[in-house]
Amino acid sequence: MKKFLFDCGTRDATASLGLLVLRVGIGLLMFLGHGLEKIEKFGDMKDGFPVPDFFPLKYMSPPVSLMATIGAEVVCAVLIIFGLATRPAAFILAFTMTVAAFGISASGTWFDPGGIGPKEAGVLYLIPAIAILLAGAGQYSLDAAILKEGRRKRW
């Protein structure tokens, strides 16, 4: 279980530095740009927050949908920033962005000439979340400090 939660992926210094920049950048953008706003406006948003229209998520109430989104955009973003349980956190964030882009904004446009379209914003967060999910947190993370192993075994 420890290996599943805390595998940091590569321990190469250059690749780990790139992953650190990616993790901190995308985590801060998600946390500051989306998560904090939802926490601050929870009272105003809780009754009108969209619920995905597919099984089993369609059975959530709007407040539960908002709390699940806050969990992904705040808790998972912070975990990704620090590199703690990074792959599970990236999976949850990627799932949330998939639901946002292709569930909630399914009827929206991909691109908006005046700004970012509804699907584009979700996909712009989905792509780095998938990259982090596949690559791991890298050497400069709490995952690497928790799971100290020698060389990573290849298949």
Q: For the residues 120-143, what does the mean pLDDT come to? A: 92
- Determine the pLDDT at residue 52: 85
- pLDDT digits over 80-116, tens only? 999 999 999 999 999 999 998 888 877 777 777 665 5
> CA angle at residue 8 from 3 to 14, to 5 degrees?
160
pLDDT tens digits for 20-73? 999 999 999 999 999 999 999 999 998 989 888 888 888 999 999 999 999 999
Contact 142, 83 (CB under 8 A): yes
- Between the CA atoms of 102, 105, 107 and 111, what dihedral angle is there, to the nearest 10 degrees? -100
CA 135 to chain centre: 14
